Structure 1
Amino acid sequence: MRRTTGGAPKARALGAELREAREATGRSMRALARDLETNHVKLQRYETGEIVPKPELVATYLTALGVSAAERDRLVEMARDADQEDWLSTTKSGSRKELTMLVEFERTATNISDIATGVIPGLLQTADYARAIMHGLPLNEVETLVLMRVGRREILAKKNAPRFTAILAESALWELIGGREVMVEQLEHVIHMSERPNVDVRVVRSGATRWHPAHMGSFTVYEFAKANPIVHMEHYRSSASLTNSGIANEYLNAVQDLTNIAMSTEQSIEFIAERIDNLKEAR
């Protein structure tokens, strides 16, 4: 077996998919461990990404669960380099595989900082807004993906929930994705979520006279109690997850810089409320 360096992004994603495959069959971890003649603690470490199983073990694991050959081959290939610090995925943004990975990051994080320059962060999205963003995906997949995305925000209400900071570029408030009514509901939901003690929403105004990190695009930083931070960036046909400690610290510094130039929490919520009023008046 190969140990990861504190839960690399691809190792966490692989573990999440192994757990999802097991849970889909209704099998407990202990029952599967008995079938594989191994210890359930070892399986738990595979499913959390703490340890990367050998490709051969992944094949055995999935065969015992009755997973299709195509899915088995995909995850076996995924295991070959899952202990690498950084991971570039060519899965389309918003896909089921990407959402499964993000749920795993969110489930184990202690702090999440989401810098959103174009759209509202996933953890704050309403169903209709998420559905509008997924325009272009196969219709038979959209509703499942919307449920997954909306379900992600429950992580903010659990016991020992992570601290979530959303820093929104003003431009994200002006894009009427889904139409005026959808955007009004979406912004009202952002204000509602900001009332949670572990959620902080800030707005960076447009018209800056000096460069700042948000000019380079959106990114999310996940911090963990016992692992290096993970920086995640999404693009149209790819995403990147980075866990190199030096790079992660630079992004944490960028979050602090943006926090310093953003409006205060109170000013930001008032600004969003004014945006809602303007949208309602224009109906």
Structure 2
Amino acid sequence: MPGLLQIPEYMQAIMHDMSDKETGPRILMRMERKNLISRVDSPSFDVILGMTRGPPSISYRALSPPIVHLEHYSGAASLKGSRDIAAYKRAVNTLRERAVYTVESLRMISKGAAELEGIDE
């Protein structure tokens, strides 16, 4: 889950193996960044989330100038090169074309949650 979409409790849970001295400033910084995207004059922000049980989440952010920001458990990376930006824009367009929306996505999420909880539908 990209940091800008996380609530403090989630942040604490994923940083459980760090000391309070380490987690406190990280959570505060994420909450401050989260406030920036809530402003009326904030840059546009697109996120594509995938439902997986494996690799880290990847987010694409459209800023001025464009930047691709990748987050994972132990860190993050920002790509600024025009070739990288173009490649991620193409990938985002492909993901949007193949994405499942509204009713279908709710059905898939419910089914996945039921599987994780061991409930038969």
Q: Matched residue of 1:164: which SS?
A: coil
1:267 to 70, 90, 103: 103
Match of 2:42 among 142, 161, 164: 161
TM-score by length of 1: 0.34
1:259, 1:169 → 2: CA distance? 11
Distance in 1, Cα, partners of 2:113 & 2:57 = 27
Counterparts of 2:111 and 2:35, CA distance in 1: 26
| CA shift digits 1:154-207 (9 cap, x unpaired) | 2332112333332222126xx9xxxxxxxxxxxxxxxxxxxxxxxxxxxxxxxx
Asked which structure has the greater RCO (Cα within 8 Å, sep 6+), the reply is 1
Distance 1:142 1:239, change over 3 A: closer
- What are the residue-to-residue correspondences of 1:108-127 with 2, within 5 Å? 120-127=1-8
Within 5 Å, give how 1:87-106 maps onto structure 2: none
The 2-side partners of 1:276 and 1:269 are apart by 10
Q: Are 1:256 and 2:88 an aligned pair?
A: no
Partner amino acid for 1:231? Answer: V
Shift of 1:271: 4.0
Superposition map of 1:1-283 within 5 A = 120-171=1-52, 218-225=57-64, 227=65, 229-234=66-71, 239-264=76-101, 266-267=102-103, 270-271=106-107, 274=110, 278=114
Gaps of 5+ in 1: 1-119, 176-214
User: 1:219·1:231 contact (CA, 8 Å) conserved in 2?
Assistant: no
Q: Secondary structure at the match of 1:263?
A: coil
Deviation at 1:269, TM superposition (A): 5.8
RMSD: 3.3
Q: Which runs of 5+ in 2 are unaligned?
A: none
Equivalent pairs counted in the alignment come to 118
Corresponding residue for residue 86 of structure 1: none
